[in-house]
Amino acid sequence: MWQSVQGHDAVVEQFRGTLAAGRLATTYLFVGPEGIGKRAFALQLAKALLCTASDPTQLEPCGRCESCVLAAAGNHPDVLLIKRQAGTKFLKVEQFIGPQERRNQEGLCHDISLRPMLGRRRVAIIDDADWFTPESANCLLKTLEEPPPGAVIILLGTSRSRQLLTIISRSQVIRFQPLPDDVLSSLILTAGIVDNAAAAEELAARSHGSLTLARQLADAALWQMRDRFAAQWLSGELDAPRLAREVDEFINAAGKEADARRQRFRQLLNLVAAKLSESLRQLAAEGRPADATLAAIDRCLEAEEQLDRNANQSTLLESWIDDLATCQVQAKVAAR
């Protein structure tokens, strides 16, 4: 464990080697699943780079100097944090170059160019890098191409495929791996998501190395909805209108935020696809036809891609369930 960040010791050593060689880049793009500690790592990296009392090549901040104290408190003047504003889907132009009336006098691009207040560097951390628009990304390009002396810019995203090429081409990509199950299980217990080690281990095994996913999968209502869905599928009588209403109510119960509803829909799609995969293996073992189940799995994966492309949620939900019902009908016809 490095600076309370677990599971990413290989990345720590990579940065130590880079610093020892004097080859610290100006812009880094951290990619990896949500909820594995990229943001925590970036904040601790900033703290280590800005520490005024330790050798920066060791990445071991002293924890006592003014810089470390301010970084730990979350109000270091040389650490600049950008993320999506509440109620918005994308990073906005104003966050980088200021509002219209104060263009280039405010925003990240202005602030990162100022002289550091405590040391030799300023560090900018841009969360939600998956959500740049071409316009907001263009505002940042000049800063990436001609970075101020001592500036380090860290962008946090989930994958290369979700980044604009203009950003990737100007960044050094650092890949973060999902957390090991034992590390994730410990974090689940510490966070109080479940109250016993056995449940934590089971949840960790289902969460693909992500604490965020573990929090979502701890929702009992999610598993109940999956089981109701699976029961109808396995019975061979999927009541599409009724099921669509139930799923719609379940998704909307996530709250008023569109992102929360979409996330709940996405997790249900994942769980249904996983349950169908279990059924597929059983059918294969028994030598029974599996075309309908395979088609249903493909439709779940397709629906997830459509959801990521911002498809209308209600329309997608109805078409997804209708298509699964059609798969069942076609399987019955083929079996006659």
Residues 93 and 193 both lie in one domain:
no
Q: Are residues 203 and 224 in the same domain?
A: no
Same domain, 274 and 185: no
pLDDT at 126 (0 to 100): 98
* pLDDT per position as a tens digit, 82-114: 999 987 889 999 999 999 999 999 999 999 999
Contact 60, 54 (CB under 8 A): yes
Q: Average pLDDT, stretch 159-165?
A: 90
Rounded to an integer, the average pLDDT of 28-51 is 96
The answer on 277 and 133 residing in a single domain is: no
| Between 96 and 274, the higher pLDDT residue | 96
How far is Cα 129 from Cα 29, in angstroms, rounded to an integer? 9
4 within domain boundaries: no
300 and 161 both lie in a single domain: no
What Cα–Cα distance (Å) separates residue 96 from each residue in 84, 109, 138, 155, 244?
A: 12, 5, 10, 13, 42
pTM to 2 decimals? Answer: 0.81
Backbone phi, then psi, for 7, in 5-degree steps? 90, 0
Does the pLDDT value for residue 233 go beyond 80?
yes
Residue 198: domain span: 179-210
My answer on whether 313 and 329 are in the same domain is: yes
Q: Which of 104-108, 165-169, 264-268, 283-287 has the lowest mean pLDDT?
A: 283-287
List, in sequence order, every beta strand (DSSP E) within 14-86.
Answer: 27-31, 79-82
Query: Does 134 map to a domain?
Result: yes
- Stretch 40-47: mean pLDDT: 97
Let me know: does 128 contact 158? Beta carbons within 8 Å. Answer: no
Q: What is the pLDDT of residue 236?
A: 82
Q: Is residue 85 in a domain?
A: yes
Range from 55-59, 64-68, 255-259, 280-284 that averages highest in pLDDT: 64-68
For residue 17, give the CATH number of its domain. Answer: 3.40.50.300
Q: How confident is the model over 277-298, as a mean pLDDT?
A: 88
Most confident of 45-49, 159-163, 232-236: 45-49
Question: pLDDT grade, residue 263 (50/70/90)?
Answer: confident
- Note whether residue 296 is domain-resident: yes
Residue of 205 and 308 predicted with greater confidence:
205
Q: Where are the beta strands (DSSP E) in 79-180?
A: 79-82, 122-126, 151-157, 172-175
Q: Residue 53 in contact with residue 97, Cβ under 8 Å?
A: no
Q: How far is CA 310 from the centre of its chain?
A: 16
DSSP state of 178: P
Task: Give me the pLDDT at residue 336, please.
Answer: 60
pLDDT at res. 161:
87
Same structural domain for residues 36 and 172?
yes
Mean pLDDT for 64-77 is 96
170 and 243: one domain? no
Work out the pLDDT band at 320, boundaries 50, 70, 90: very high
Classify residue 1: in a domain, yes or no. no
Cα angle 292, 202, 284 (rounded to 5 degrees) comes to 25
pLDDT of residue 334: 63
Q: Write down the pLDDT at residue 335.
A: 60
Is 2 part of any domain? no
Please return the burial class of 101, using the count of CB atoms within 10 Å of its CB with bins 0-12, 13-18 and 19+.
exposed
Residues 30 and 15 both lie in one domain: yes
| Tokens coding 70 | 């301010």
Domain assignment present for residue 3? The answer is no
DSSP strand pairing (122-126 vs 151-157) = parallel
* Percentage above 90 pLDDT, the chain: 72
Same domain assignment for residues 204 and 249: no
Residues 194, 233: one domain? no
Q: Could you tell me the pLDDT band of residue 154, with boundaries at 50, 70 and 90?
A: very high
pLDDT at 286 over 80: yes
Residues 19 and 142 occupy one common structural domain: yes
